[in-house]
Amino acid sequence: MTWLLVALGAGVGAPSRYLLDRAVQSWHRTLFPWGTVAVNVLASLVLGLLTGAAGSVNPDFAVLAGAGFCGALSTYSAFSYETLRLAERGARWQAVLNVLLSLAAGIGAGVLGWWLGAALG
């Protein structure tokens, strides 16, 4: 049953990632992958919320939303690919910024989510 919950969450998370990435990227006509940063930060926030509220969240919902939705919403492969693409195109400072911003914002969003989840849960 758990695998079905993960699959259902991923079935919503993957198209959400694509649509949010494209929407955010269309607002920023640059090489910098703002869309990927946004979806990874959002996934970190949601996963932090789930983790912080773990005691009051239904375990099945946690699997659906955490492993399924957040797992498919976030994308380490696109982050890696886009960072390398920036470096290959000579935008090395943007590649470094992508790494630093993605890590700092993702960890910050995860901590904020955990804090909010613990406070609300």
pTM strictly above 0.75:
yes
**Residue 121 — very low, low, confident or very high, per pLDDT cuts 50/70/90?**
confident
According to DSSP, residue 54 is labeled G
Residues 62-119: tens digit of each pLDDT: 999 999 999 999 999 999 999 999 999 999 999 999 999 999 999 999 999 999 999 9
Q: Using an 8 Å Cβ cutoff, are 10 and 72 in contact?
A: yes
Task: Please report the beta strands in the chain, taking only residues with DSSP state E, as ranges in sequence order.
Answer: none
Distance from C-alpha of 116 to C-alpha of 94, rounded to nearest angstrom: 31
For tokens 């406070």, what's the residue? 119
